[in-house]
Amino acid sequence: MQVLSLETVDSTNLYAKNNIGELSNCTVIHALRQTSGRGRFTRKWVDLGDGNLFLSFVLKPETKFSSSFPNITQYLSVVLCKVLETFGVEPQIKWPNDVLVNGKKIAGILCEAVNEGGCFKGLVLGIGVNLNAFDCDLNLVSDKVITALNLEISNSVDVYAFRNKLMSEFSQNYEKFLEMGFEFIKEDYISKLVVLNKDISVQVLNDVKTGFVKGVTNTGELVLENQEKEFVLTIGDIL
């Protein structure tokens, strides 16, 4: 993997999308600071200052759209958990791909497909990880309880070392994941899933579905059950 390093950018995802024609497969766009980070559902991703991780993988497979791509954010969430574990914490995954430590969000993942003139050009898979933050800055994010790795381990974290571990863990099984899809990570993913066997509510577009989490399908969807029926959710935001 090659890395394109930037000091400050509006958003590594936007940069990657705007330059996808010139970027080769598996390039990583890494920025030290982000002024306009993007999150899921048009949310913002807040830059908590120096020493945090903002990067986007540019994925341009030789073949066309892979059937594993809808699960690529879940693949990255498992990869991130493995890296976080090496720091002695016990990460968990909030479906579909938020990563939590001690119940608090530490990272966010946003995947965007790039199409030009009806042609699929590739995927931009962005991840932000809170590695170094001050306690007093955590309330810059008002809609979620968040944390940063340095606060969990009482030690500052080297952003470059973390980035390199993440890239290496990502590459290690990427081809295998493309070949096998969600089933390749299912066991690891479920073992970290925070909502399993719990009653939850999920915002699905303009609707809220409430039920008991029975599990996850072989293609990564969440299976919810209530007295009325069973729901298989492809997208959504757990409330």
For binding to ligand BTN (CB under 6 A), which residues are involved?
A: 11-13, 37-40, 43, 45, 54-56, 108-110, 126-128
Quick one: 205 exposed, middle or buried, by C-beta within 10 A (0-12, 13-18, 19+)?
exposed
Phi, psi of 231 (to 5 degrees): -115, 140
Select 54 or 189, whichever has its Cβ closest to ligand BTN.
Answer: 54
Question: Is the previous residue joined to 70 through a cis bond, with omega within 30 degrees of 0?
Answer: no
Phi, psi of 28 (to 5 degrees): -110, 125
SS3 62: coil
Select 56 or 132, whichever has its Cβ closest to ligand BTN.
Answer: 56
Residue 14 CB, nearest distance to ligand BTN (Å)? 6
Residue 144 CB, nearest distance to ligand BTN (Å)? 9
Residue 52 CB, nearest distance to ligand BTN (Å)? 9
Q: H helices within 41-148, ranges in order?
A: 72-85
Looking at beta carbons, which residue is closest to ligand BTN? 108
Written as six digits, the tokens of 26 are 């598996």
SS3 32: strand
Select 139 or 197, whichever has its Cβ closest to ligand BTN.
Answer: 139
Residue 56 CB, nearest distance to ligand BTN (Å)? 5
Select 125 or 211, whichever has its Cβ closest to ligand BTN.
Answer: 125
